[in-house]
């Protein structure tokens, strides 16, 4: 099984429902036979509408988060079962913004991953170091701890539904992209950790995306690296032509 190449968008807290529908409609009309899997991560309130809109298209839909509890008295939360009931097929978890601003730690993320998988969602699990950790040369340690803390408890069978996204926090939304060399080096390291934990075949089949100021100008060079299987795109996913150019670069 050759590993899946993918370009995924992460809209974050952008776009009203109407704006989101307009963007999804544009993508649906333009992205007919992509060379890779295409996923868009939207706010919860968009999911049902956008999933319905895209149901016969080449584009899959992801939530950007889900609750760490199954159901019940958790005001304002959205469960993995609710996400799945919209027709969304993926859930982005472990994004650095969730870790930093909403204090999601390894244990909470492990629960979220477990619940997402139990509800048949595929998970795009994000890892990556902050600037100080990169400057101190600790990036390998950081991503290893993030994987061990939240996803290396999964069975090899469960792992088939995990896509990893390496996103150096210093590159997210900053215009400071990791160089292809920096990204390739750590992607290869991450793949070696998966091989150590599972086996070489599992590692070879694992899709590892790069995220962090990936755009229509630098995508082709990043994607040409052997261990970079695609991208998780924030800002450039909010404009159809830019996102489509990134898909075309994959």
Interface residue list for ligand PGA (CB under 6 A): 10, 167, 172-173, 211-214, 232-236
Shortest distance in whole angstroms from residue 191 CB to ligand PGA: 20
Q: Which is nearer to ligand PGA, 79 or 96 (CB)?
A: 96
Which three-class secondary structure string do you get for 164-224?
A: EEECCHHHCCCCCCCCHHHHHHHHHHHHHHHHHHCCHHHHHHCCEEEECCCCCCCHHHHHC
Q: Which is nearer to ligand PGA, 88 or 237 (CB)?
A: 237
User: Contact 30/244 with Cβ under 8 angstroms?
Assistant: yes
CA distance 111 to 94: 11
Shortest distance in whole angstroms from residue 82 CB to ligand PGA: 23
Shortest distance in whole angstroms from residue 75 CB to ligand PGA: 27
Shortest distance in whole angstroms from residue 198 CB to ligand PGA: 25
Shortest distance in whole angstroms from residue 26 CB to ligand PGA: 19
Marked catalytic residue, from 97, 111, 167, 244: 167
Q: Which is nearer to ligand PGA, 112 or 197 (CB)?
A: 112
Contacts 24+ apart (CB under 8 A), 103-107: 105/149, 106/145, 106/146, 106/149, 106/150, 107/149, 107/150
Marked catalytic residue, from 95, 97, 111, 216: 95
CA distance 143 to 193: 10
Q: Which is nearer to ligand PGA, 54 or 214 (CB)?
A: 214
Residue 62 — φ and ψ, nearest 5°? -125, 145
Q: Which residue is nearest to ligand PGA (CB)?
A: 234
Residues 6+ apart with CB under 8 A from 113: 93, 94, 123, 125, 150, 151, 154, 162
Tell me, yes or no, if 167 is annotated catalytic. yes
Q: Which is nearer to ligand PGA, 230 or 234 (CB)?
A: 234
Active site residues: 95, 167
């Amino acid at each position: 099984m050759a590993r899946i190449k993918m370009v995924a968008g992460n809209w974050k807290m952008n776009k009203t429902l109407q704006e989101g529908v307009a963007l999804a409609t544009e993508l649906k009309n333009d992205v007919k036979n992509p060379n890779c899997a295409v996923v868009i991560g939207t706010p919860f309130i968009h999911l049902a509408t956008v999933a319905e809109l895209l149901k016969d298209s080449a584009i899959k839909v992801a939530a950007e988060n889900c609750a760490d509890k199954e159901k019940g008295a958790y005001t304002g939360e959205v469960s993995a079962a609710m996400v799945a009931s919209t027709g969304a097929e993926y859930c982005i978890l472990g994004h650095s913004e969730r870790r930093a601003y909403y204090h999601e730690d390894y244990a909470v993320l492990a629960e979220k991953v477990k619940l997402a998988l139990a509800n048949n969602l595929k998970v795009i699990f994000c890892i990556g170091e902050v600037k100080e950790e990169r400057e101190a040369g600790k990036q390998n340690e950081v991503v290893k701890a993030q994987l061990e803390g939240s996803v290396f408890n999964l069975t090899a069978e469960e792992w088939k539904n995990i896509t990893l996204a390496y996103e150096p926090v210093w590159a997210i939304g900053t215009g400071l992209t990791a160089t292809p060399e920096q990204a390739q080096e750590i992607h290869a390291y991450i793949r070696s950790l998966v091989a150590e934990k599972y086996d070489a075949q599992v590692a070879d089949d694992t899709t590892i995306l790069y995220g962090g100021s990936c755009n229509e100008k630098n995508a082709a060079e990043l994607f040409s690296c052997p261990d970079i299987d695609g991208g998780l795109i924030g800002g450039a996913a909010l404009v159809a032509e830019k996102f489509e150019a990134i898909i075309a670069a994959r």
